Amino acid sequence: MKQATQTDVAQAAGVSRATVSYVLNERYNSAMPISTKTKEKVLKAVADLGYNPDARARSLRSGKTQTLGLIIPNLHNPHHWEIVEGVMQKAHKLGYEILFSSSDLESKKEENSIKALFRRSVDGIILLPSFIKLYPKLLQQISELQLPVVTIGCRDIGIDCIGSIDTEATNNAIKHLENLGHKKIGFLVTGENQTSGEDRLYPYFQSLTKNKRALISKQIVRVKSTIEDAYRKSLELLKKDNRPTAIITVNDYFAVGVLRAASDLNINIPEDLSIISFDDILLANFTSPRLTTVRLEAKAVGQGAVTILLNRLNNKNLAIQKERIPAKLIIRESTAQVKL
Amino acid sequence: MKQATQTDVAQAAGVSRATVSYVLNERYNSAMPISTKTKEKVLKAVADLGYNPDARARSLRSGKTQTLGLIIPNLHNPHHWEIVEGVMQKAHKLGYEILFSSSDLESKKEENSIKALFRRSVDGIILLPSFIKLYPKLLQQISELQLPVVTIGCRDIGIDCIGSIDTEATNNAIKHLENLGHKKIGFLVTGENQTSGEDRLYPYFQSLTKNKRALISKQIVRVKSTIEDAYRKSLELLKKDNRPTAIITVNDYFAVGVLRAASDLNINIPEDLSIISFDDILLANFTSPRLTTVRLEAKAVGQGAVTILLNRLNNKNLAIQKERIPAKLIIRESTAQVKL
DNA sequence: TTGAAAGCGCTAACAC
DNA sequence: GTGTTAGCGCTTTCAA
C-alpha cells in the first residue's frame, strides 16, 4: 500500500487538507481554533492510515528542516563521541535530527562536508573544527551559506561557540605537576594545524616567556590524531636519556598510547613517570593505572552547543554567544611525586 | 543576499530551468543531449551565483533523498564507531549523507528512531539492532514504512543483512583457549535481550549440549553494555574461589573492564588469567597486555552494509542479501597456557 | 471555525 | 538540442 498523504487523511476525516495541517501542527491553541470534534476526526484518520507527514515537503514549505548538521574531526577519539552523545540527546529531545559527518582530519573534506552536505538540508551546523588554518575559509563559507554555525572550542572569530576554559584547564594540569615537583615535562600535542594542540597549550607557553620558562624544559612532541602515533612518538620521547619525568597529553586517548609505550620500556607509572591528560573520557577510569586528567564535560558541551544553535535559529540578531565550561582536575593514579 | 535558485541560474545563463537541471544532473551523456556551449554557460552561471541545488526540493520531486539512516545501539563501544566509519566513508563516496541516531539501548527509543525520524527523509536504513525481542516489531515497522533496511548482524528474518560469522568466530576463540589447556572458562555477555550476547555465544552453547559440555564449567555473567558494569561483574567473578582460568568477553570494550578488575585483584594476565574477546578495536593493540581477540572487520562491515542497501534501492525485487564476513583470531598478549 | 488555492525549488514527460 | 509545464506534499495566507 502506498504511504498515506495529507490528502488521504483529509478525505478520510472529511475535512480539507488545511485542517489536517492545523491539527497536526497544534495550531488550535493559538491563532487557529479548531473544534474538538474535528480534531478528533483528523487524529483518528491519521492513526487509521498510519499517516506520517513528509519531512521534505514540510521543510520545503516551512523553510525549516528540523535537522542539525554535526561535523567532527575524526571518529576514533572517544571524547568526540561523548560530545556527539550530548548533541544527540539534546537535539532529539527538542525534535531535531542529526545529519552526521566526519571530516577525517582532511581540511578538504571538512570543507565539502559543510558545503555539499548542507544544501539547505539542515537548519544549522555544529562544528568541532580540526584545522586552525581553516578558520578564515570557514567564516567565508558560513556567510555564503547563511547557515547558523556553532563551533565547539572557542576562538575569537565572531561565531557562536562553546568550549572548555582551556587556559584554566591547562593551568590546572601544570600546577598539579609542579606541586608534585616535576620540572621536566613533556608535551604531546596534535599537529601544527590542528585546534586542540594550539588552543590548549599555547596560552601556557605564552605565559612562560614571562616567568617560569627557564624552570621547565619543554619537550614538545607533535603527533597525528591516532593512538598509534601517540604511542610511537612517546616511545621515542621516553627512550631519550634526558627523558621527562612527566608527560602532558592533549587528550586521554593519546595518554593510552603513552601508557602502552611506558609499559614497553618498563617504565612504571606513576613512580617513574607521571601522565596527565585532558577530557576525562569514560575509559580514563579503567586504564592501568587510572588516568589523572582534566575533565572537560563533553556531554554538557554537546548539549550546550545545541542550545546555543537553537537560540540563534530563534533569533538571528542575537549577540555572539560564547559559553565557557569550567574544567576540573580529576586526580587518579597516573601522577605522583617526582623521584629525586 | 538570498541563496540563488534554479531560476536565477537559468536567467543568468539565458536558458530555461529545465536546461539547468539537465546540465547539473549530467543528463547530456545519455538521453538528453546538451550542446557544449550551453553547458558551459550554465556551469559559469552556477559558479558565479554560488548556486547549490536545494536537496529538499530535489528529493521531493525525484523521490530520492540521497540520505541513509544509521542507527546504532550505544555511543560508547568503539567497535560501533568503526562500523560507523565504514558506513560514512562508503556512503559519502557514493554521494549519500548520513542521518544518525543512537537507540541508547532503550527499545522504545529504537522504535521511535525508526518511525518518527525517517518520515521519508531517508532512502533506507542501516540498523545495528540491540534488542532481540524487537525483531518482530521491527519487521512490521519496516514493512509499514516501506523503507529498505539492512541489519548489521544476521538473523533469519528475511531482511538484508551483513555480519561476521559468529559461530566461526566463537569457535576460533574457544579452540584457542582449549589449545592452551583452559577448561574453566568464564563468559561475559550482554543482557538477555541484547543481540551480541546471544548471537555470539549461543550457537556454541548449543553445540555443547551434545559433546564437550561436561568438559567446560561454564560461568556466564550478563553485563549491561557499559565498561563500568563489565568491570564490576568481572570483579565479582574473579573474587570467587573457584574462578575461571580464562574469560571470554563478547567485545573488546568489556575486556578493558576485565583487565582493570584483574589489576585491582593483583591477578596477572595472561599468567594467572587469559582473556579473549571479540571485535579487535584499534584500542585492543594498546592495552596492557595487548588483547587477544577475534577480529570482526568493523569497517568492512560498515562499507558492506552500504553496498547492500544501495543494491536494494536499485532493485526492490532482489532476493534477500546475506553477507557473512569471516572472523580472524588475532593472538596477542592476553592469553597463555593455563597454569597447572 | 473551516476551505481554496498559491507556491516552496526542483525533475521529468512531452512538445517543439 | 532546448523550452514548457505539471506536479512532488506540505504550510499558510486569504476568504468565507
DSSP characters over B99-117:
EEEE-TT-HHHHHHHHHTT
Do residue A288 and residue B52 have CB atoms under 8 angstroms apart?
no
Q: Are the C-beta atoms of residues A188 and A230 closer than 8 Å to each other?
A: yes
Residues A93 and A177 in one domain: no
Ordered mean pLDDT values, 10 residues apiece, chain B (340 residues):
82 88 74 75 87 88 89 90 94 89 64 61 86 67 79 86 84 90 88 60 63 59 91 95 92 97 97 96 97 96 97 91 94 94
B80 found inside a domain: yes
- Tell me the residue range of the domain where A123 lies: 65-164+298-327
Q: Tell me, what's the pLDDT at A204?
A: 64
Cα–Cα dist A314/A8, whole Å: 33
Contacts of A92 in chain B (CB under 8 A): 101
Cα–Cα dist A55/A62, whole Å: 10
Is the pLDDT at A298 greater than 80? The verdict is: yes
Q: Tell me, what's the pLDDT at A212?
A: 57
Residue B190: half-sphere exposure toward Cβ, Cα within 13 Å: 24
B333 found inside a domain: no
Is the pLDDT at A49 greater than 80? The verdict is: yes
Q: Tell me, what's the pLDDT at A211?
A: 54
The CATH number of the domain holding residue B22 is: 1.10.260.40
Give the CA radius of gyration of chain B.
Answer: 25
Residues A177 and A151 in one domain: no
Do residue B119 and residue A92 have CB atoms under 8 angstroms apart?
no
Residues A47 and A86 in one domain: no
* A249 and B CB contact within 8 Å: no
% of residues, chain A, pLDDT over 70 = 82
**Residue in chain A lying closest to B77 (CA):** A78
**Cβ atoms within 10 A of the Cβ of B221, count?**
18
Cα–Cα dist B162/B154, whole Å: 6
* B65 and A CB contact within 8 Å: yes
**Closest nucleotide to A16: CA versus each C1':** C3
Is the pLDDT at A222 greater than 80? The verdict is: yes
Residues A108 and A202 in one domain: no
Residues A95 and A142 in one domain: yes
C-alpha distances (whole Å) from A239 to each of A190, A236, A275 are 20, 5, 16
C-alpha distances (whole Å) from B191 to each of B107, B134, B188, B199 are 13, 14, 10, 12
Residues B160 and B174 in one domain: no
Residues A75 and A19 in one domain: no
Measured in angstroms, the CA of A215 and the nearest CA of chain B are apart by: 33
* A181 and B CB contact within 8 Å: no
Is the pLDDT at A89 greater than 60? The verdict is: yes
Tell me the backbone φ, ψ of residue A257, rounded to 5 degrees. Answer: -65, -40
Do residue B55 and residue A119 have CB atoms under 8 angstroms apart?
yes
A184 found inside a domain: yes
What is the identity of the amino acid at B265? Answer: L
Tell me the backbone φ, ψ of residue A279, rounded to 5 degrees. Answer: 115, -55
C-alpha distances (whole Å) from A15 to each of A30, A218, A323, B292 are 20, 75, 48, 65
Residues A305 and A289 in one domain: no
Rounded distance in angstroms from the CA atom of residue A142 to the C1' atom of nucleotide D14: 37
What is the identity of the amino acid at A198? Answer: E
Q: Which residues, including other chains, have CB under 8 Å from residue B58's CB and lie 6 or more apart?
A: none
CA A115, A121, A126, A130 torsion-angle sign: negative
Q: Are the C-beta atoms of residues B252 and B284 closer than 8 Å to each other?
A: yes
| Three-state secondary-structure class, residue A71 | strand
Q: A128-149 pLDDT, tens per residue?
A: 877 666 667 766 776 777 789 9
Q: Which three cell numbers stand for residue A15?
A: 475535512
Is the pLDDT at A228 greater than 90? The verdict is: yes
Q: Which nucleotides of strand C are protein-proximal, with an atom < 7 A from a CB? A: 1-5, 7-13
* B318 and A CB contact within 8 Å: no
- The position carrying cell 530520492 is B64
Residues A35 and A74 in one domain: no
Q: A202-220 pLDDT, tens per residue?
A: 666 666 655 555 555 557 8
A99 found inside a domain: yes
Q: Tell me, what's the pLDDT at A146?
A: 77
Instruction: Give me the mean pLDDT over the A232-237 stretch.
Output: 95
Is the pLDDT at A261 greater than 90? The verdict is: yes
A36 found inside a domain: yes
**Residue in chain A lying closest to B231 (CA):** A286
Instruction: Give me the mean pLDDT over the A25-42 stretch.
Output: 73
Q: Are the C-beta atoms of residues A312 and A148 closer than 8 Å to each other?
A: yes
A266 found inside a domain: yes
- Region of A95 on the Ramachandran plot (φ > 0 left; ψ -120 to 50 alpha; else beta): left
* Secondary element (H or E) of residue B293: strand B292-295
The CATH number of the domain holding residue B234 is: 3.40.50.2300
Per-residue pLDDT band for A104 (boundaries 50, 70, 90) equals low
Q: How many domains does chain A have?
A: 3
Residues B291 and B303 in one domain: no
Q: Are the C-beta atoms of residues B195 and B132 closer than 8 Å to each other?
A: yes
Per-residue pLDDT band for A156 (boundaries 50, 70, 90) equals confident
Residues A233 and A262 in one domain: yes
A60 found inside a domain: no
Q: A52-83 pLDDT, tens per residue?
A: 888 899 888 888 888 999 988 888 999 999 99
Mean pLDDT across chain A: 85
A340 found inside a domain: no
Cα–Cα dist B299/B85, whole Å: 6
Measured in angstroms, the CA of A185 and the nearest CA of chain B are apart by: 23
C-alpha distances (whole Å) from A148 to each of A314, B22, B76 are 11, 31, 29
Q: Tell me, what's the pLDDT at A256?
A: 98
Do residue A100 and residue B98 have CB atoms under 8 angstroms apart?
yes
Q: Tell me, what's the pLDDT at A194?
A: 63
Q: Tell me, what's the pLDDT at B264?
A: 97
Per-residue pLDDT band for A199 (boundaries 50, 70, 90) equals low
Measured in angstroms, the CA of B318 and the nearest CA of chain A are apart by: 19
Residues A274 and A177 in one domain: yes
* B287 and A CB contact within 8 Å: yes
Q: Are the C-beta atoms of residues A80 and B145 closer than 8 Å to each other?
A: no
* A4 and B CB contact within 8 Å: no
B55 touches strand D (CB under 7 A): no
Q: Tell me, what's the pLDDT at A26?
A: 75
Instruction: Give me the mean pLDDT over the A266-271 stretch.
Output: 97
C-alpha distances (whole Å) from A112 to each of A107, A109, A117, A138, B306 are 9, 5, 7, 11, 20
